[in-house]
Protein backbone atom coordinates (compact mmCIF):
# COMPACT_ATOMS: atom_id res chain seq x y z
CA UNK A 1 0.00 0.00 0.00
CA UNK A 2 2.80 2.43 0.84
CA UNK A 3 4.47 1.81 -2.52
CA UNK A 4 1.23 2.45 -4.38
CA UNK A 5 0.67 5.62 -2.40
CA UNK A 6 4.16 6.88 -3.15
CA UNK A 7 3.74 6.03 -6.81
CA UNK A 8 0.53 8.04 -6.88
CA UNK A 9 2.32 11.00 -5.30
CA UNK A 10 5.15 10.92 -7.79
CA UNK A 11 2.85 10.35 -10.74
CA UNK A 12 1.00 13.48 -9.73
CA UNK A 13 4.10 15.54 -9.09
CA UNK A 14 6.22 14.35 -12.01
CA UNK A 15 3.61 13.75 -14.68
CA UNK A 16 1.43 16.81 -14.24
CA UNK A 17 3.14 19.68 -12.47
CA UNK A 18 6.71 19.33 -13.80
CA UNK A 19 5.47 18.33 -17.29
CA UNK A 20 3.41 21.49 -17.45
CA UNK A 21 6.28 23.56 -16.13
CA UNK A 22 8.74 21.93 -18.55
CA UNK A 23 6.49 22.57 -21.54
CA UNK A 24 5.86 26.14 -20.48
CA UNK A 25 9.54 26.88 -19.97
CA UNK A 26 10.40 25.28 -23.31
CA UNK A 27 7.70 27.33 -24.99
CA UNK A 28 9.01 30.56 -23.52
CA UNK A 29 12.55 29.54 -24.43
CA UNK A 30 11.55 28.96 -28.02
CA UNK A 31 9.87 32.36 -28.13
CA UNK A 32 13.01 33.83 -26.65
CA UNK A 33 15.15 32.23 -29.34
CA UNK A 34 12.92 33.69 -32.01
CA UNK A 35 13.16 37.07 -30.33
CA UNK A 36 16.95 36.91 -30.31
CA UNK A 37 17.03 36.04 -34.01
CA UNK A 38 14.63 38.85 -34.76
CA UNK A 39 16.74 41.29 -32.78
CA UNK A 40 19.83 40.14 -34.66
CA UNK A 41 18.09 40.65 -37.98
CA UNK A 42 16.82 44.05 -36.94
CA UNK A 43 20.29 44.93 -35.74
CA UNK A 44 21.70 43.98 -39.11
CA UNK A 45 19.11 46.09 -40.89
CA UNK A 46 19.84 48.96 -38.53
CA UNK A 47 23.54 48.65 -39.19
CA UNK A 48 22.91 48.78 -42.93
CA UNK A 49 20.60 51.73 -42.49
CA UNK A 50 23.28 53.48 -40.48
CA UNK A 51 25.25 53.84 -43.71
CA UNK A 52 22.59 56.27 -44.88
CA UNK A 53 21.37 57.67 -41.55
CA UNK A 54 22.92 58.95 -38.35
CA UNK A 55 24.19 56.43 -35.69
CA UNK A 56 21.67 57.82 -33.21
CA UNK A 57 18.80 57.03 -35.51
CA UNK A 58 20.04 53.47 -36.02
CA UNK A 59 20.43 52.89 -32.28
CA UNK A 60 16.94 54.17 -31.58
CA UNK A 61 15.46 51.84 -34.17
CA UNK A 62 17.27 48.84 -32.77
CA UNK A 63 16.34 49.68 -29.15
CA UNK A 64 12.67 50.09 -29.98
CA UNK A 65 12.60 46.72 -31.70
CA UNK A 66 14.30 44.97 -28.76
CA UNK A 67 11.83 46.37 -26.21
CA UNK A 68 8.77 45.61 -28.31
CA UNK A 69 9.87 42.04 -29.04
CA UNK A 70 10.76 41.33 -25.42
CA UNK A 71 7.45 42.68 -24.13
CA UNK A 72 5.49 40.61 -26.62
CA UNK A 73 7.42 37.45 -25.70
CA UNK A 74 6.97 37.91 -21.96
CA UNK A 75 3.27 38.69 -22.32
CA UNK A 76 2.61 35.66 -24.52
CA UNK A 77 4.61 33.28 -22.34
CA UNK A 78 3.10 34.39 -19.04
CA UNK A 79 -0.42 34.44 -20.38
CA UNK A 80 -0.02 30.87 -21.64
CA UNK A 81 1.45 29.74 -18.33
CA UNK A 82 -1.31 31.28 -16.22
CA UNK A 83 -4.12 29.90 -18.37
CA UNK A 84 -2.63 26.42 -18.46
CA UNK A 85 -1.93 26.43 -14.73
CA UNK A 86 -5.51 27.41 -14.04
CA UNK A 87 -6.88 24.61 -16.20
CA UNK A 88 -4.66 21.88 -14.78
CA UNK A 89 -4.91 23.12 -11.21
CA UNK A 90 -8.70 23.39 -11.25
CA UNK A 91 -9.05 19.84 -12.55
CA UNK A 92 -6.73 18.39 -9.91
CA UNK A 93 -8.33 20.40 -7.11
CA UNK A 94 -11.81 19.25 -8.09
CA UNK A 95 -10.63 15.65 -7.97
CA UNK A 96 -9.01 16.25 -4.59
CA UNK A 97 -12.25 17.70 -3.21
CA UNK A 98 -14.13 14.60 -4.35
CA UNK A 99 -11.59 12.35 -2.64
CA UNK A 100 -11.72 14.48 0.51
CA UNK A 101 -15.44 13.83 0.84
CA UNK A 102 -14.86 10.06 0.88
CA UNK A 103 -11.59 9.86 2.86
CA UNK A 104 -11.60 9.82 6.64
CA UNK A 105 -14.53 10.17 9.02
CA UNK A 106 -16.67 13.22 9.74
CA UNK A 107 -17.29 13.84 13.45
CA UNK A 108 -19.63 16.02 15.42
CA UNK A 109 -17.21 17.84 17.74
CA UNK A 110 -13.55 18.60 18.32
CA UNK A 111 -13.58 16.45 21.44
CA UNK A 112 -14.76 13.51 19.36
CA UNK A 113 -12.11 14.30 16.76
CA UNK A 114 -9.36 14.24 19.38
CA UNK A 115 -10.50 10.86 20.69
CA UNK A 116 -10.77 9.37 17.23
CA UNK A 117 -7.43 10.75 16.10
CA UNK A 118 -5.29 10.21 19.18
CA UNK A 119 -7.22 7.67 21.24
CA UNK A 120 -9.53 7.72 24.26
CA UNK A 121 -6.61 8.12 26.65
CA UNK A 122 -5.32 11.30 25.04
CA UNK A 123 -5.31 14.08 27.65
CA UNK A 124 -5.25 16.94 25.13
CA UNK A 125 -8.58 18.72 25.46
CA UNK A 126 -10.37 21.31 23.35
CA UNK A 127 -9.12 24.18 25.52
CA UNK A 128 -5.57 23.02 24.87
CA UNK A 129 -6.15 23.21 21.13
CA UNK A 130 -7.74 26.66 21.32
CA UNK A 131 -5.03 28.16 23.52
CA UNK A 132 -2.16 26.66 21.53
CA UNK A 133 -3.75 27.94 18.32
CA UNK A 134 -3.79 31.44 19.80
CA UNK A 135 -0.18 31.21 20.94
CA UNK A 136 0.99 29.71 17.65
CA UNK A 137 -0.47 32.73 15.87
CA UNK A 138 0.67 35.28 18.46
CA UNK A 139 4.35 34.34 18.28
CA UNK A 140 4.59 35.68 14.72
CA UNK A 141 4.29 39.22 16.11
CA UNK A 142 5.00 38.65 19.76
CA UNK A 143 6.71 42.00 20.27
CA UNK A 144 3.42 43.70 19.39
CA UNK A 145 1.76 41.85 22.29
CA UNK A 146 -1.15 40.32 20.34
CA UNK A 147 -4.21 38.98 22.12
CA UNK A 148 -2.90 35.43 22.39
CA UNK A 149 0.16 36.44 24.42
CA UNK A 150 -1.02 39.61 26.17
CA UNK A 151 -2.52 37.91 29.27
CA UNK A 152 0.86 36.38 30.11
CA UNK A 153 2.75 39.62 29.51
CA UNK A 154 0.33 41.41 31.82
CA UNK A 155 1.08 39.06 34.71
CA UNK A 156 4.88 38.93 35.18
CA UNK A 157 4.50 37.98 38.85
CA UNK A 158 3.12 34.62 37.75
CA UNK A 159 4.58 33.98 34.29
CA UNK A 160 8.24 33.88 33.30
CA UNK A 161 8.64 34.40 29.55
CA UNK A 162 11.85 33.33 27.83
CA UNK A 163 12.37 34.35 24.20
CA UNK A 164 14.79 32.91 21.66
CA UNK A 165 15.72 33.74 18.08
CA UNK A 166 17.95 32.37 15.34
CA UNK A 167 19.91 35.13 13.65
CA UNK A 168 17.40 37.94 13.27
CA UNK A 169 15.52 40.22 15.63
CA UNK A 170 12.26 38.26 15.50
CA UNK A 171 11.09 35.94 18.26
CA UNK A 172 11.32 32.39 16.90
CA UNK A 173 10.67 30.44 20.09
CA UNK A 174 9.26 31.14 23.52
CA UNK A 175 8.76 29.40 26.87
CA UNK A 176 5.91 30.57 29.09
CA UNK A 177 6.49 29.16 32.57
CA UNK A 178 3.72 29.33 35.16
CA UNK A 179 5.35 29.71 38.57
CA UNK A 180 2.10 28.76 40.30
CA UNK A 181 1.45 25.42 38.60
CA UNK A 182 5.00 24.79 37.32
CA UNK A 183 3.63 24.09 33.86
CA UNK A 184 5.53 25.35 30.83
CA UNK A 185 4.28 26.11 27.37
CA UNK A 186 6.80 25.96 24.51
CA UNK A 187 5.88 27.64 21.21
CA UNK A 188 7.86 27.81 17.97
CA UNK A 189 7.24 30.36 15.22
CA UNK A 190 6.63 29.24 11.64
CA UNK A 191 8.04 30.54 8.36
CA UNK A 192 8.20 34.31 8.02
CA UNK A 193 11.73 35.54 7.26
CA UNK A 194 14.14 34.67 4.40
CA UNK A 195 16.16 32.67 6.90
CA UNK A 196 13.07 30.60 7.72
CA UNK A 197 12.61 29.76 4.05
CA UNK A 198 16.21 28.58 3.92
CA UNK A 199 15.47 26.17 6.75
CA UNK A 200 12.36 24.94 4.92
CA UNK A 201 14.35 24.31 1.75
CA UNK A 202 17.01 22.05 3.31
CA UNK A 203 15.01 18.83 3.04
CA UNK A 204 17.88 16.40 3.55
CA UNK A 205 17.18 13.59 6.00
CA UNK A 206 19.77 13.68 8.79
CA UNK A 207 20.21 11.76 12.07
CA UNK A 208 18.59 13.31 15.13
CA UNK A 209 21.05 11.55 17.42
CA UNK A 210 22.76 8.21 17.72
CA UNK A 211 19.60 6.16 17.11
CA UNK A 212 17.57 5.36 13.97
CA UNK A 213 15.58 8.61 14.17
CA UNK A 214 16.15 10.90 11.21
CA UNK A 215 14.65 14.33 10.63
CA UNK A 216 14.49 17.16 8.11
CA UNK A 217 17.88 18.91 8.18
CA UNK A 218 16.49 22.45 8.01
CA UNK A 219 13.95 21.84 10.76
CA UNK A 220 16.64 20.33 12.96
CA UNK A 221 18.98 23.28 12.42
CA UNK A 222 16.17 25.71 13.26
CA UNK A 223 15.38 23.82 16.48
CA UNK A 224 19.04 23.43 17.45
CA UNK A 225 19.59 27.19 17.23
CA UNK A 226 16.71 27.90 19.62
CA UNK A 227 16.89 24.98 22.03
CA UNK A 228 19.98 26.10 24.02
CA UNK A 229 18.01 29.20 25.08
CA UNK A 230 14.66 27.51 25.63
CA UNK A 231 15.72 24.29 27.37
CA UNK A 232 17.09 25.94 30.55
CA UNK A 233 13.75 27.73 30.99
CA UNK A 234 12.15 24.30 31.50
CA UNK A 235 14.36 23.21 34.41
CA UNK A 236 11.60 23.67 37.01
CA UNK A 237 8.69 22.47 34.85
CA UNK A 238 6.54 19.62 36.10
CA UNK A 239 4.65 19.33 32.80
CA UNK A 240 5.06 20.86 29.33
CA UNK A 241 2.85 21.57 26.32
CA UNK A 242 4.64 21.98 22.98
CA UNK A 243 2.99 23.71 20.04
CA UNK A 244 3.66 25.52 16.79
CA UNK A 245 2.39 26.33 13.33
CA UNK A 246 4.00 25.37 10.00
CA UNK A 247 7.81 25.33 10.40
CA UNK A 248 7.11 25.90 14.10
CA UNK A 249 4.98 22.75 14.15
CA UNK A 250 7.88 20.73 12.77
CA UNK A 251 10.39 22.28 15.16
CA UNK A 252 8.19 21.67 18.19
CA UNK A 253 8.02 17.96 17.30
CA UNK A 254 11.82 17.74 17.31
CA UNK A 255 11.98 19.74 20.54
CA UNK A 256 9.47 17.39 22.18
CA UNK A 257 11.67 14.37 21.47
CA UNK A 258 14.80 16.20 22.63
CA UNK A 259 13.10 17.30 25.84
CA UNK A 260 11.76 13.85 26.70
CA UNK A 261 15.14 12.24 26.10
CA UNK A 262 16.57 14.40 28.88
CA UNK A 263 13.41 14.46 31.03
CA UNK A 264 11.68 11.08 30.65
CA UNK A 265 9.53 11.48 33.76
CA UNK A 266 8.00 14.87 32.91
CA UNK A 267 4.73 14.55 30.95
CA UNK A 268 4.51 16.38 27.63
CA UNK A 269 1.68 17.23 25.28
CA UNK A 270 1.96 18.27 21.63
CA UNK A 271 -0.40 20.28 19.41
CA UNK A 272 0.59 21.32 15.87
CA UNK A 273 -1.14 23.35 13.17
CA UNK A 274 -0.42 22.99 9.46
CA UNK A 275 2.87 21.24 10.24
CA UNK A 276 4.88 19.46 7.53
CA UNK A 277 6.29 15.97 7.94
CA UNK A 278 9.39 16.31 10.12
CA UNK A 279 11.11 12.92 10.15
CA UNK A 280 11.14 9.22 9.37
CA UNK A 281 9.10 6.37 10.84
CA UNK A 282 11.55 5.86 13.71
CA UNK A 283 11.19 9.54 14.60
CA UNK A 284 7.40 9.21 14.43
CA UNK A 285 7.60 6.33 16.90
CA UNK A 286 9.89 8.31 19.20
CA UNK A 287 7.50 11.26 19.06
CA UNK A 288 4.49 9.11 19.93
CA UNK A 289 6.41 7.62 22.85
CA UNK A 290 7.55 11.07 24.00
CA UNK A 291 3.99 12.36 24.24
CA UNK A 292 2.50 9.11 25.48
CA UNK A 293 -0.17 9.48 22.83
CA UNK A 294 -1.05 13.00 24.01
CA UNK A 295 -0.58 14.56 20.61
CA UNK A 296 -2.96 16.33 18.22
CA UNK A 297 -2.24 17.36 14.61
CA UNK A 298 -4.61 19.94 13.12
CA UNK A 299 -4.70 20.65 9.38
CA UNK A 300 -6.86 22.71 7.05
CA UNK A 301 -8.49 20.90 4.14
CA UNK A 302 -6.78 23.07 1.50
CA UNK A 303 -3.46 23.61 3.23
CA UNK A 304 -0.60 22.23 1.14
CA UNK A 305 2.15 22.55 3.78
CA UNK A 306 1.23 19.37 5.73
CA UNK A 307 1.94 17.47 2.52
CA UNK A 308 5.54 18.60 2.24
CA UNK A 309 8.29 16.19 3.12
CA UNK A 310 7.61 13.44 0.57
CA UNK A 311 6.87 9.98 1.92
CA UNK A 312 9.08 8.55 -0.82
CA UNK A 313 11.99 10.28 0.87
CA UNK A 314 11.06 8.57 4.12
CA UNK A 315 9.09 11.38 5.78
CA UNK A 316 5.95 10.43 7.71
CA UNK A 317 3.31 11.97 9.96
CA UNK A 318 2.97 10.30 13.34
CA UNK A 319 -0.76 10.67 14.00
CA UNK A 320 -3.92 10.98 11.83
CA UNK A 321 -4.93 14.61 11.23
CA UNK A 322 -7.94 16.49 12.51
CA UNK A 323 -9.10 18.24 9.34
CA UNK A 324 -11.09 21.46 9.13
CA UNK A 325 -12.73 22.19 5.79
CA UNK A 326 -16.01 23.04 4.08
CA UNK A 327 -17.47 24.04 7.44
CA UNK A 328 -17.02 20.53 8.82
CA UNK A 329 -14.53 18.62 10.95
CA UNK A 330 -13.21 15.14 10.22
CA UNK A 331 -10.41 12.77 11.15
CA UNK A 332 -8.09 11.27 8.57
CA UNK A 333 -8.19 7.51 8.19
CA UNK A 334 -4.39 7.32 8.49
CA UNK A 335 -1.48 9.63 9.32
CA UNK A 336 -0.61 10.20 5.63
CA UNK A 337 -3.71 10.65 3.49
CA UNK A 338 -3.26 9.88 -0.23
CA UNK A 339 -5.55 12.65 -1.43
CA UNK A 340 -3.26 15.26 0.12
CA UNK A 341 -0.74 14.92 -2.73
CA UNK A 342 -3.39 15.81 -5.30
CA UNK A 343 -4.34 18.88 -3.33
CA UNK A 344 -0.72 19.94 -2.98
CA UNK A 345 -0.22 19.80 -6.75
CA UNK A 346 -3.38 21.77 -7.42
CA UNK A 347 -2.84 24.49 -4.87
CA UNK A 348 0.79 24.93 -5.82
CA UNK A 349 0.09 25.71 -9.46
CA UNK A 350 -3.41 27.20 -9.45
CA UNK A 351 -2.77 30.64 -8.01
CA UNK A 352 0.56 30.29 -6.26
CA UNK A 353 0.88 32.15 -2.97
CA UNK A 354 -2.69 33.43 -3.15
CA UNK A 355 -3.73 29.92 -2.19
CA UNK A 356 -1.80 30.00 1.08
CA UNK A 357 -4.76 31.51 2.93
CA UNK A 358 -5.80 28.15 4.41
CA UNK A 359 -2.29 27.79 5.81
CA UNK A 360 -2.23 31.11 7.66
CA UNK A 361 -2.13 30.86 11.47
CA UNK A 362 -5.18 33.08 11.87
CA UNK A 363 -7.18 30.62 9.75
CA UNK A 364 -6.29 27.83 12.15
CA UNK A 365 -7.04 29.92 15.20
CA UNK A 366 -10.44 30.98 13.82
CA UNK A 367 -11.31 27.41 12.81
CA UNK A 368 -10.66 25.90 16.24
CA UNK A 369 -12.32 28.81 18.06
CA UNK A 370 -15.45 28.50 15.93
CA UNK A 371 -15.58 24.74 16.44
CA UNK A 372 -15.08 25.12 20.19
CA UNK A 373 -17.91 27.66 20.32
CA UNK A 374 -20.13 25.34 18.32
CA UNK A 375 -19.29 22.44 20.62
CA UNK A 376 -20.22 24.48 23.68
CA UNK A 377 -23.51 25.51 22.07
CA UNK A 378 -24.26 21.81 21.71
CA UNK A 379 -23.40 21.29 25.40
CA UNK A 380 -20.51 18.99 24.58
CA UNK A 381 -18.75 18.12 27.88
CA UNK A 382 -15.33 19.41 26.85
CA UNK A 383 -13.55 18.79 30.13
CA UNK A 384 -15.54 15.86 31.44
CA UNK A 385 -13.01 13.16 30.54
CA UNK A 386 -10.08 15.07 32.00
CA UNK A 387 -11.88 15.93 35.21
CA UNK A 388 -12.89 12.31 35.74
CA UNK A 389 -9.28 11.30 35.28
CA UNK A 390 -8.34 13.71 38.05
CA UNK A 391 -5.72 15.47 35.96
CA UNK A 392 -4.36 18.63 37.58
CA UNK A 393 -4.70 21.97 35.84
CA UNK A 394 -1.28 23.30 34.87
CA UNK A 395 -1.85 26.73 33.39
CA UNK A 396 -4.88 28.84 34.10
CA UNK A 397 -5.58 31.28 31.30
CA UNK A 398 -5.74 34.73 32.92
CA UNK A 399 -9.18 36.31 33.13
CA UNK A 400 -10.72 33.13 31.69
CA UNK A 401 -11.33 30.82 34.66
CA UNK A 402 -13.26 28.31 32.51
CA UNK A 403 -10.29 27.75 30.20
CA UNK A 404 -7.34 25.82 31.52
CA UNK A 405 -4.26 24.60 29.71
CA UNK A 406 -2.78 21.41 31.05
List, for residues 384-398, the tens digit of each pLDDT value: 333 333 333 333 333
End-to-end Cα separation, the chain, in angstroms: 38
- Tell me the C-alpha distance between 109 and 160, whole Å: 34
Q: Report the pLDDT value the prediction gives residue 148, as an integer from 0 to 100.
A: 77
3-state SS, residue 361: helix
pLDDT-based confidence at 5, cuts 50/70/90? Answer: very low
Region 70-97: what's the mean pLDDT? 58
Q: Which residue has the higher pLDDT, 30 or 405?
A: 30
34-69 pLDDT tens trace: 655 665 566 666 656 655 555 555 555 556 665 666
Residue 97 class from Cβ within 10 Å (0-12 exposed, 13-18 middle, 19+ buried)?
middle
- 228 has a pLDDT exceeding 90: yes
Q: Which residue has the higher pLDDT, 229 or 382?
A: 229
Q: Which residue has the higher pLDDT, 272 or 340?
A: 272
324-377 pLDDT tens trace: 877 788 898 767 654 344 444 444 444 444 445 788 999 999 999 999 988 888
- 223 has a pLDDT exceeding 80: yes
93-121 pLDDT tens trace: 565 566 556 667 888 899 999 999 999 99
Q: Which residue has the higher pLDDT, 290 or 345?
A: 290
Q: Report the pLDDT value the prediction gives residue 306, as an integer from 0 to 100.
A: 87
- 245 has a pLDDT exceeding 50: yes
Q: Report the pLDDT value the prediction gives residue 242, as an integer from 0 to 100.
A: 98
What is the chain's mean pLDDT, rounded?
A: 76
The answer to whether 182 and 237 have CB atoms below 8 angstroms apart is yes
Q: Report the pLDDT value the prediction gives residue 301, as an integer from 0 to 100.
A: 80
3-state SS, residue 331: strand
Region 171-199: what's the mean pLDDT? 94
Q: Report the pLDDT value the prediction gives residue 222, as an integer from 0 to 100.
A: 96
- Tell me the C-alpha distance between 152 and 150, whole Å: 5
Q: Report the pLDDT value the prediction gives residue 17, as an integer from 0 to 100.
A: 39
For helices 126-138 and 361-377, angle between their N-to-C axes, nearest 10 degrees: 150
Query: DSSP states of 67-134 as a string?
Result: HHHHHHHHHHHHHHHHHHHHHHHHHHHHHHHHHHHHSSEE-SSHHHHHHHHH-TT----HHHHHHHHH
pTM given for the model: 0.70
Q: Report the pLDDT value the prediction gives residue 147, as an integer from 0 to 100.
A: 73
- 402 has a pLDDT exceeding 70: no
123-159 pLDDT tens trace: 999 999 999 999 999 999 887 767 778 888 888 999 9
Q: Report the pLDDT value the prediction gives residue 89, as an integer from 0 to 100.
A: 53
Amino acid sequence: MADNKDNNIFNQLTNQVPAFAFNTINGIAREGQKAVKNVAKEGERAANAALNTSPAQAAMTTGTTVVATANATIHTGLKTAVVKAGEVGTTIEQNADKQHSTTGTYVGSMEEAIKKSSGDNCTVCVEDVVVTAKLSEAIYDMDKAPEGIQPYLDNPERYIITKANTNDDKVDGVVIFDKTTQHAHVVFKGTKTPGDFMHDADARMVPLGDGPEKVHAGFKDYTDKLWPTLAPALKDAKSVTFSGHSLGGAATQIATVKFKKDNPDIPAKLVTFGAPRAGNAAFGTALSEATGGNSVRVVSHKDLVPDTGLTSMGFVHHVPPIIFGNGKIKVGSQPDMPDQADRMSALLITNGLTKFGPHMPDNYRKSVEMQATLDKSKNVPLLDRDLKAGLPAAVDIPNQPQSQLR
